[in-house]
Amino acid sequence: MKFTLALAIVTGLTLSAVANAQGTSFLRTRINDTQRSALPGNVHTVALDPSSDRGPVARSTPIEHMLLQLQRSPAHEAAMAAYITTVDDSDSPNYHQWLSAQQIGQLYGPSHADITEVAIWLGTHGLTLNSVSPTGMVIDFSGTAAQIETAFHVGLHTYDINGQARIVIMEKPSIPTALVGIVSGLVNQTPMLQPSQNAATASRSPYTTLATVSGK
């Protein structure tokens, strides 16, 4: 099953911060996909201009390398800020003791349990988990436009921006309320999307996803 595969992938990332992340789970209740909350600040300002809207994206369009931004617990955020202060203090034993991305994930990243729960939820919507960043703060996943629209309760439209066709998230994404405090945003940093492919072709799509924060 999809969610089992997602769990297996996360569990297998033993060399990343995901498998080593410390701390207590921030998840307080069981995930219920019918109880949802919106994520503010995840809509590009271009979505406010209907004159460039060219209509909905085909639901079968593959969208590669969407990034789900996670967030630290308040305790981890405070601890990391405190450590950063000591790194710049010449009187501190931590002076210039810079941490690697993996160490940041191990010490201050989201818990392994929380990352696993998010990955399982993505898998229940048929989305494919590609990787988790060493800090444990970003989950890279892929899926079709239909899967992303269903998972996050958003519409994806094509917009004409400076003569280029781009995919725009039309409204604030929503996630299960249980994941509020763990997930902070939905973004895409990959410039191009993959079109439908078969064994004979691997051409690129003319679309680019825009999900820049506008505060809408």
Domain edges within the chain: 2-28+52-196+205-210
Say if pTM beats, i.e. exceeds, 0.85. Answer: no
The rounded distance, in Å, linking the Cα atoms of 46 and 168 is 8
Sequence letter at residue 67 = L
Q: Identify the pLDDT of residue 158.
A: 85
- pLDDT tens figures, 93-125: 989 999 999 999 999 999 999 999 999 999 999
Coil, helix or strand at residue 51: helix
For 128, the token pair is 């494919």
Going by C-alpha positions, the residue among 100, 102, 132 that lies closest to residue 117 is 132
DSSP label at residue 203: P
Max alpha carbon distance in the chain (Å)?
A: 63
Q: Tell me if 169 sits within 8 A of 43, measured CB to CB.
A: yes
Residue 95 near residue 9 (C-beta atoms within 8 A): no
Confidence band of 188 (pLDDT split at 50, 70, 90): low
Tell me the pLDDT tens digit for each residue of 32-49: 999 999 998 777 777 778
| CA–CA distance, 169 with 104 (Å, rounded to integer) | 31
Say whether 102 sits in a helix, a strand or coil.
Answer: helix
